[in-house]
Amino acid sequence: MPTKKQTLIFSIAHSYDLMFFYRLVMESNYKEKYIIKILFQEHKYFKGKMPIVNRMLLAISDKIVFVKNDQIPRHSINLFKHVFLAYKMKRLIRYNFNKKDRLLILDKSSYSSNILLSYFNRSVLFQFQNKKSSSYELYILKNILIYIYHAVINIPKIKVLKLINSEKIIEEFIVDLKNIDKVFIANDKGPRSINFSIVDNTIKSNKIVIFGSRYNQWNLKSSTLTKINTYYENIYNTFKDKYLFVYIEHPLEKGSELKEMQEVFDNSLLIETRYLNSEHYLIENKDTAYCFSIGSTSSKSAYQMGFNSKVGYKWILSDTNIILGFDSVFDDIADDIHMFSPADDISNSALASHQSTKLDVLDEIIKNQVKI
């Protein structure tokens, strides 16, 4: 008699989530080994991309449960509306999923994610291995808000920290649930880590990708804005006669950044909108020669995927606490990803070491063979 397959639940609420689980399935035999169901929250980042999204979802799953953007519960000031949506989501989850199913999730901060984490008997939370910073303090107002939201629907509380003395609020969420197994992404130094394969991009084209940023929303000093221009002028002047410049906008850009970038690049930027996000573009364009940004998480993804990727925030930005916020994203990446001064040679290679897909730890955790 054949063994009954275990059911995995993928929580997808962001374009990065979708690309992560897409790679997880495509680089493994999970589609054959498990029954895969998806709770898909139609985040605003997916707007205009749903035909692409639906094709990818169908390729990796056996069942999809959709939650429209206006039906997603959030930690918002509209308490009654979002508590009502939270109860609706709890009913939706109970109706479609068994508590014994295994939840796989990347987010621990949102209201909806915490509803999910509180429902399943066991969950796998994927995280990046970041160093702790003493510059964080308790975010009192946010903690009070979250305490009320979680108490009303009887789910465990979470702790929220924020960077001290920073003009830009950068948060860190602490979840301490005993039913969660944490697995670290692209960090093969520890026992609880997984890796995806590094792309073979030895054959490079003349394409350079610029990952956009919403820096005009950061209230930066004029001197910092000048540094941003200098950073991109150096890129343009170094490569302008040999390379094609591709620009992928940040989902929350308002348009002013792109306009300024076009001026720097003499209106030569090719705006790429045919892909779900930056990671999707890179998977389909493995011959990309260079990737640049101020400090985009897409640059981190590009480096981990094997692309020549660089960021410039360490010499561009002047606010130490904002730099620490970016450091918390990049502190598990080798230093060669960083531009430390405008004098650095931007054409130098910044490439991750070759690695193969490694998912054995995840398989063991799913089978409950790894002790908590």
**Is residue 312 domain-shared with residue 258, that is, in the same domain?**
yes
Q: Does the pLDDT of residue 1 top 60, yes or no?
A: no
DSSP letter for each residue of 255-316: SHHHHHHHHHTTT--EE--SSSSHHHHHHH-TT--EEEESS-HHHHHHHHHT--EEE-HHHH
Backbone φ and ψ for 139, nearest 5 degrees, come out as -90, 90
Q: How many separate helices (H) and strands (E) can be counted in the chain?
A: 13, 15
Domain tally, the chain: 2
Q: Can you tell me the distance from the alpha carbon of 10 to that of 83, in angstroms, rounded to the nearest whole number?
A: 23
- Show the CA angle centred on residue 107, arms to residues 36 and 69, nearest 5°: 80
Q: Does the pLDDT of residue 231 top 90, yes or no?
A: yes
What are the tens digits of pLDDT across the range 212-225?
999 988 888 899 99
Q: Quick one: average pLDDT of 156-177?
A: 64
Q: Quick one: average pLDDT of 169-173?
A: 57
360 burial level (CB within 10 Å; 0-12, 13-18, 19+): exposed
346 within some domain: no
Q: Count Cβ atoms below 10 Å from residue 216 Cβ, excluding itself.
A: 16
**Which pLDDT score, from 0 to 100, does residue 248 have?**
96
**CATH code of the domain containing 119:** 3.40.50
**Which pLDDT score, from 0 to 100, does residue 58 have?**
96
Q: Quick one: average pLDDT of 354-371?
A: 71
Q: Does the pLDDT of residue 286 top 60, yes or no?
A: yes
Q: Quick one: average pLDDT of 16-23?
A: 94
Q: Does the pLDDT of residue 297 top 80, yes or no?
A: yes
What are the tens digits of pLDDT across the range 245-270?
999 999 888 889 999 999 999 999 99
42 within some domain: yes
**Selection from 11, 127, 16 nearest residue 61 by Cα:** 11
**Is residue 108 domain-shared with residue 244, that is, in the same domain?**
no
Q: Can you tell me the distance from the alpha carbon of 43 to that of 29, in angstroms, rounded to the nearest whole number?
A: 28
**Is residue 187 domain-shared with residue 297, that is, in the same domain?**
no
**Is residue 59 domain-shared with residue 188, that is, in the same domain?**
yes
**Which pLDDT score, from 0 to 100, does residue 151 have?**
86
**Which pLDDT score, from 0 to 100, does residue 60 have?**
97
Per-residue confidence band for 361, with pLDDT thresholds at 50, 70 and 90: confident
**Is residue 190 domain-shared with residue 265, that is, in the same domain?**
no
316 within some domain: yes
Q: Can you tell me the distance from the alpha carbon of 194 to that of 126, in angstroms, rounded to the nearest whole number?
A: 9
Q: Quick one: average pLDDT of 302-315?
A: 90
Q: Residue 282 is part of which domain span?
A: 207-337
Per-residue confidence band for 305, with pLDDT thresholds at 50, 70 and 90: confident
**Is residue 311 domain-shared with residue 362, that is, in the same domain?**
no
**Is residue 46 domain-shared with residue 189, that is, in the same domain?**
yes
Q: Quick one: average pLDDT of 196-210?
A: 77
**Is residue 211 domain-shared with residue 281, that is, in the same domain?**
yes
Enter the tokens of residue 312: 């410039």
**Is residue 186 domain-shared with residue 251, that is, in the same domain?**
no
**Is residue 322 domain-shared with residue 293, that is, in the same domain?**
yes
Lowest mean pLDDT among 15-29, 58-72, 311-325: 311-325
**Is residue 184 domain-shared with residue 50, that is, in the same domain?**
yes
38 within some domain: yes
Q: Does the pLDDT of residue 130 top 80, yes or no?
A: no
23 within some domain: yes
Q: Does the pLDDT of residue 363 top 90, yes or no?
A: no
252 within some domain: yes
254 within some domain: yes
| Greatest Cα pair distance in the chain | 71
- Average pLDDT, rounded, for the chain: 85
**Is residue 193 domain-shared with residue 211, that is, in the same domain?**
no
Q: State which amino acid sits at residue 345.
A: D
210 burial level (CB within 10 Å; 0-12, 13-18, 19+): buried
Instruction: Please tell me which residue, 182 or 174, carries the higher pLDDT value.
Output: 182
Q: Under a CB-based contact definition with an 8 Å cutoff, are residues 64 and 40 in contact?
A: yes
